[in-house]
Amino acid sequence: MLKDIIWIFFYFPIGLHSTQFMHVNLAYKQSTNISSLYETSLVHLAVNGEFNPVYQNFGRCSHSLIENKPWYLILLDKSYIIKTIRILNRATHPEALQNIIIGTQLTKDISVTDFSKYQQFSTISGGVLHSRTVTMHYTEKPHYASSIIIYRNEYGKLTLCQVEMWNLNNIAKDKIASVSSQYNSHAKASNAVDDEVCSLFEQNGLYCIHSEDEIEPWWKVDLEKMSVVYAVTIIGRGEIISDRLKNLRVAVSTNDETPTPQTSLKCGLYDGPLPLYTTIRCPKSTVGRYLSTTKIFNTNSQALIICEVDVFGFYLDGNFTINTIFYNETNYLYKTNVLTQDCNKHKKATTDISNFQISSFQLTIQGVNIENACKMGVFDLISSFKVDFREFINDCKLLHAVDGYFTERDMLDTCTYQCNCDINNCQSFSIVYSSNMDMLHKEIFIFFKY
Number of Cβ atoms within 10 Å of the Cβ of 416: 18
pLDDT of amino acid 241:
57
pLDDT of amino acid 17:
47
What CATH number is given to the structural domain containing 87? Answer: 2.60.120.260
Same domain, 255 and 126: no
| Summary mean pLDDT of the chain | 90
Residue 67: in which H helix or E strand, if any?
strand 67-68
Do the Cβ atoms of 450 and 394 come closer than 8 Å?
no
Least confident of 161-170, 184-193, 428-437: 428-437
Same domain, 290 and 199: yes
With a cut of 80, say whether residue 58 has pLDDT above it. no
Number of Cβ atoms within 10 Å of the Cβ of 342: 9
Q: Which of 148, 166, 184 is the last residue of a domain?
A: 166
Same domain, 292 and 335: no
Q: Which of 258, 291, 315 is the last residue of a domain?
A: 315
The mean pLDDT of 132-155, rounded to a whole number, is 96
pLDDT of amino acid 19:
66
Residue 1 lies in a domain: no
The phi, psi pair for 237, rounded to 5°, reads -80, 130
Residue 19 lies in a domain: no
Same domain, 181 and 122: no
pLDDT of amino acid 124:
95
With a cut of 90, say whether residue 26 has pLDDT above it. yes
Q: Of 10-19, 173-182, 316-325, 336-345, give the range with the top mean pLDDT.
A: 173-182
Same domain, 85 and 211: no
Question: pLDDT band for position 3 (50/70/90)?
Answer: very low
**What CA–CA distance (Å, rounded) separates 311 from 408?**
17
Same domain, 332 and 274: no
Same domain, 130 and 153: yes
Residue 385 lies in a domain: yes
With a cut of 60, say whether residue 7 has pLDDT above it. no
With CA atoms as reference, report the closest residue to 444 among 146, 19, 142, 1: 142
With a cut of 70, say whether residue 96 has pLDDT above it. yes
pLDDT of amino acid 1:
42
Same domain, 156 and 54: yes
Is 114 or 414 the better-scoring residue by pLDDT? Answer: 414
Q: Which of 287, 315, 343 is the last residue of a domain?
A: 315
**What CA–CA distance (Å, rounded) separates 325 from 445?**
7
Residue 10 lies in a domain: no
Residue 3 lies in a domain: no
Residue 139 lies in a domain: yes
pLDDT of amino acid 12:
33
Q: What total number of domains does the chain contain?
A: 3
Same domain, 183 and 309: yes
pLDDT of amino acid 163:
98
With a cut of 70, say whether residue 16 has pLDDT above it. no
pTM of the model: 0.92
With a cut of 50, say whether residue 205 has pLDDT above it. yes
Question: pLDDT band for position 126 (50/70/90)?
Answer: confident
Domain interval for residue 334: 321-449
